Amino acid sequence: MIARIWHGVTPAAKADEYFEFLKQTGVPDYQSVEGNRGVTILRRIEGGQAHFLLLTLWDSMEAIREFAGSDLEKAKYYPEDQHFLLEFEEKVVHYAVLLDEER
């Protein structure tokens, strides 16, 4: 299993609105791809900014390719992101999942 991690930053005042936007766009987009095993959204407010980490789990790099296209490390954005994000990081990171255990 592969974890794909994306980081984004919004103004803190737009954090809740961006979370709702993610639930309506990014989450269904991830979940529509066969081989997606889940989506986790993390948020940390620091000063006037909200940092988001989206952690998605995938069966394989091929499944990620179905979502992301041929450049697996390129971050995927939506046109509406320009209304929320303070910066557009170009890359995501991938990790091999060695343990995924629920209690």
Check whether 95 has a pLDDT greater than 90. yes
Overall number of domains in the chain:
1
Residue 20 domain flag: yes
- Residues 40, 45, 46, 51, CA torsion sign: positive
CB atoms within 10 A of CB 54: 19
- Quick check: is 19 in a domain? yes
Q: Note the pLDDT tens digit of each residue in 38-64.
A: 999 999 999 999 999 999 999 999 999
Residue 73 lies in a domain: yes
| Residue with the two structure tokens 């309506």 | 24
76 belongs to a structural domain = yes
Q: Is 103 a member of any domain?
A: no
Contacts of 89 (CB under 8 A, 6+ apart): 6, 7, 8, 75
This prediction's pTM: 0.92
Measured torsion, CA atoms of residues 3, 79, 84, 28, in degrees rounded to the nearest 10: -40
Tokens of 69: 């296209």
* Cα separations in angstroms, 84 against 30, 33, 43, 67, 100: 20, 25, 14, 22, 32
Query: Is residue 25 a part of any domain in this protein?
Result: yes
Residue 90 neighbours by CB under 8 Å, 6+ apart: 74, 75
The pLDDT of residue 76 is 93
Residue span of the structural domain in which 33 resides:
2-96
Residue 25 clears pLDDT 90, i.e. is over it: yes
Checking if the pLDDT of 102 tops 90, the result is no
User: Quick check: is 101 in a domain?
Assistant: no
- pLDDT for the residue 101: 86
Q: What is the pLDDT of residues 64-93, one digit of tens each?
A: 999 999 999 999 999 999 999 999 999 999
Q: Could you tell me the CATH number of the domain that includes residue 46?
A: 3.30.70.100
